[in-house]
Amino acid sequence: MKRATLSLLAGFVIAFSFGGAASTVSADVNDFSFESFDADYYLDVDADGRSTLTTVETFVAVFPDVDQNRGMRRAIPSRYQGVPTDVAIQSVTDETGAPRPFTVETDEEGFILVTSRADSFVQGRQTYVFKYTLASSPTPTPTSSSGTLTAPVGSSPSLG
């Protein structure tokens, strides 16, 4: 298995938080910042000959010290260049590997939304580690007779 490690800016990916009950401070649930974003990409081929990409993304978010946010949402494209990405979510954890609760749904634009939502408000520095796999049917490229895994940035690099 080939391994590539990339560090990207948090603005390079689509991530949202969302809140709950109103607080005494008038603030938007998007009023928080990312301290860091890091991603590890693991390229492989499955038993059916499909290219696979396992992605481990680590977001460190800094939430305000008010009751505004309950977690974070990660949007992952379900299709790229017309081809399904076959997203399989393995886990969402904190920095110690402790599981965070999460749900998975698809929005009207075709994004897979992975939402980690706590029962209580989150404040201060919070780490979210999203682990998921994308799979793609092999597609020859003009410069290569081998298969190519193509998927959006924030999800994978492209290989020929």
Query: Is the residue at 154 inside a domain?
Result: no
Question: Mean pLDDT over residues 139-154, rounded?
Answer: 48
- Averaged pLDDT of the chain: 76
pLDDT number for residue 81: 85
pLDDT at 113 exceeding the cut of 90 = yes
The dihedral through the CA atoms of 30, 32, 36, 40 has a sign that is negative
Secondary structure E strands in the chain: 2-6, 15-18, 33-45, 51-63, 69-77, 79-80, 83-84, 88-93, 103-106, 111-122, 124-136
The tens digit of pLDDT for each residue in 58-95 reads 999 999 999 999 999 999 999 888 888 999 999 999 99
Tell me the residue range of the domain where 114 lies: 2-136
Question: Euclidean distance between the first and final Cα of the chain, in Å?
Answer: 15
pLDDT at 25 exceeding the cut of 80 = no
Q: Give the integer Cα–Cα distance in Å for 132 and 18.
A: 21
- Cα 127 to Cα 41, 72, 135, 149, distances in angstroms: 19, 10, 26, 29
Three-state SS at 11:
helix
Query: Is the residue at 149 inside a domain?
Result: no
Give the model's confidence band at 31: pLDDT under 50 very low, under 70 low, under 90 confident, else very high.
confident
Instruction: Write down the pTM of the prediction.
Output: 0.71
pLDDT number for residue 39: 97
Query: Is the residue at 89 inside a domain?
Result: yes
pLDDT number for residue 10: 30
Here the CATH number for the domain that contains residue 54 is: 2.60.40
Tokens representing residue 20 in the block: 């709950």
- Percent of the chain surpassing pLDDT 90: 52
Domain count, the chain: 1
Question: Mean pLDDT over residues 113-133, rounded?
Answer: 94
